[in-house]
A and B are shown apart, each in its own frame.
Chain A
Amino acid sequence: MGMTMTQKILAVHAGLDSVVPGQLIKVKLDLVLGNDITTPVAINEFKKIGVKAVFDKKKIAIVPDHFTPNKDIKSAEQCKCTREFAREMEIENYFEIGQMGIEHALIPEKGLVVCGDVVIGADSHTCTYGALGAFSTGIGSTDMAAGMATGEAWFKVPEAIKFILKGTLSPWVSGKDVILHIIGKIGVDGARYNSMEFVGEGISALSIDDRFTMANMVIEAGAKNGIFPVDEKTIEYVESHSQREYIIYSADEDANYIKTIEIDLSSIRPTVAFPHLPENTKTIDEVPEVLIDQVVIGSCTNGRIQDLRMAAKVLKGQKVHQRIRAIIIPATQSIYLQAMKEGLLEIFIEAGCVVSTPTCGPCLGGHMGILAKGERAIATTNRNFVGRMGHPGSEVYLASPAVAAASAITGKISSPEEVAKW
């Protein structure tokens, strides 16, 4: 039987000719990732193993991005413990404040992941790198500890769902709308334990940033990983960010999929996920009047340069509604710098937004924009669970940067089609 793209990458990393769904395998890891929340727990477990060194100093990345710059004394202690471990183990890819960014934007930017890699990260959105044709998935701190010590992880080979993408996106519609549309269609457990394999002629028109956004949110459908085929855009991205050699895998023609779903990109409308699950989606045309208090544009889902350009296009020459706090968070230092060079930051500040240093911050209710009881935010983030951005009585609506920016201007959930002047 043929293998899917994911199964092929796993087989090679397990040293096997082939694998079948359900098979338990041990795979060699190309990168093990952690952040300031998950790494301290991993360090405790790592010490219990009793090894003196990590398996490979080059193949571990630690990014303090969640509660940084340190939001309080406890967070500072966690970062300190992480930093000291990185120094002690001589981990080459530890990114201090000033160099860091939100991990899933930073890691590809630093060239630490290439096509064909197997990556585990103690952060659920590690699935982001599937955009580059790698197998990458979120795991917990104990798996991170074991990975740092042994360079291996165990996996159950997943079954796959094939998503055939056709057509091209309409103006103001982006990867965020596509993935919200898909999650709305299949549900938050619609791909539980499965690979979501994206194929079809529609992919060629999707930017790498769109693909990162889509792969990033496959976890919100319960998937183990999401993966895109490697094309010219992928190669251009990988070669311009990394010196490492890469291997291109593609699914066998007779690969088995438990389900095939066709998505017509041209029919997708700007989409919003209502509280308190990412599957509670409505197209912008179905959204009733929803007044909001805060707008967040950023996160590992939508804090990349394309996202900021899209938001700036909507906000240019406009003013944020007087009732709204609009918070823009470039995901990495280099995105921040690029946005500055392109004049995007000026557009944001003149519109009345605040621009923050890179941090996960409000996305998980950490800091930099916490909601009070009864408050509502529209955010380009990835989760709208109860209490996700603050008080358990607050609400988060998930949307694209264009919809979030349009909503900042009107003070209610709005379409960029109605608001943008350009």
Chain B
Amino acid sequence: MVKGKAIVFGKNVDTDVIIPARYLSSSDPKELALHCMEDIDANFSQKVQVGDIIVAGSNFGCGSSREHAPLAIKASGISCIIAENFARIFYRNAINIGLPILECEEAAKDIEEGNEIQVDFNSGIIENITKNKFYTAQPFPKFMMEIIKAEGLINYIVKEASEC
């Protein structure tokens, strides 16, 4: 369960704007977070608060495979991303590093900047406290849920190996 205020973006938010390549000479998440989203929202790193939720249109995270993109978002304090849908490499990168993401067209279209949002990952229910509305996200397949529960692919692999 996470709770935070919504920061809203449009569609086709690409990984070059999530973290511009000029900062990829570092892989330190804290350093990357300082520049997260700066090419589309110069104030993002100042305004984001721990727990905030990114809400976006379709194809979020398109472009480069840089894992620095979800790492920068996670290190910014963002607790969850809700989008109409995600580009596939970003989707698996987010799951793999343990950054919760949800696909929900209705929520992505209805939630407005600053709305207070609460997300229950077990049920997939997204509550818009400001508007007193509920939306239901696409559930994760079982296998992916296990990676999420392990808080990432590496932990999942380690856990799987120890059980063999």
CB atoms of B154 and A142 under 8 A apart:
yes
Let me know if A388 and B92 touch, CB within 8 A: no
Q: Name the B residues within 8 Å of A67 (CB-CB).
A: 24-25
Q: Is residue A407 within 8 Å, beta carbon to beta carbon, of the partner chain?
A: no
B43 within 8 A of A: no
Decide if B39 touches A387 in the complex (CB within 8 Å): yes
User: Quick one: given A138-B89, A143-B92, A386-B17, are A124 and B153 in contact (CB under 8 Å)?
Assistant: no
CA separation between A140 and B18, bound complex, in Å? 15
User: Which of chain A's residues has its CB closest to B142's CB?
Assistant: A24
Taking a contact as CB atoms under 8 Å apart, the answer to whether A41 and B67 are in contact is yes
- Return chain A residues, CB-CB under 8 Å to B59: 188-189, 192, 222
Closest Cβ–Cβ distance, residue A368 to chain B (whole Å): 13
- A-contacting residues, B15-35, CB 8 Å: 16-17, 20-22, 24-27
Q: Does the CB pair B89–A142 fall under 8 Å?
A: no
The number of chain A residues with a CB under 8 A from chain B is 50
Are B96 and A140 interface neighbours, CB within 8 A?
yes
Taking CB atoms and an 8 Å cut-off, the chain A residues in 171-229 that contact chain B are 188-189, 192-193, 219, 222, 224
How large, as a class, is the contact surface on chain B? 35 or more
A386 touches B92 (CB 8 A): no
Complex Cα distance, B126 from A287, in Å, reads: 45
Residues of B within 8 A of A392 (CB): 20, 39
Q: Are A149 and B62 touching (Cβ within 8 A)?
A: no
Is B152 part of the contact surface with A, judged by Cβ < 8 Å? yes
State A219–B66 Cα separation when bound (angstroms). Answer: 14
Q: Say yes or no for B48: interface residue by CB 8 A criterion.
A: no
Using Cβ atoms and an 8 Å threshold, which residues of chain B touch A37?
21, 24, 66, 68
A interface, CB within 8 angstroms of B: 24, 37-38, 40-41, 44-45, 48-50, 66-67, 71-72, 74-75, 78, 121-124, 126, 138-143, 145-146, 149-150, 154, 188-189, 192-193, 219, 222, 224, 277, 364-366, 383, 385-388, 392
Name B residues whose Cβ lies closer than 8 Å to a Cβ of A. Answer: 12, 14, 16-17, 20-22, 24-27, 39-40, 58-59, 62-68, 70-71, 85, 87-89, 92-93, 96-97, 141, 143-144, 152-154, 157-158
19 example contacts (A-B, Cβ-Cβ < 8 A) are as follows A24-B143, A24-B144, A37-B68, A67-B25, A121-B65, A124-B63, A140-B92, A141-B93, A142-B97, A150-B157, A189-B59, A189-B87, A192-B59, A192-B87, A222-B59, A224-B88, A386-B39, A387-B16, A388-B16
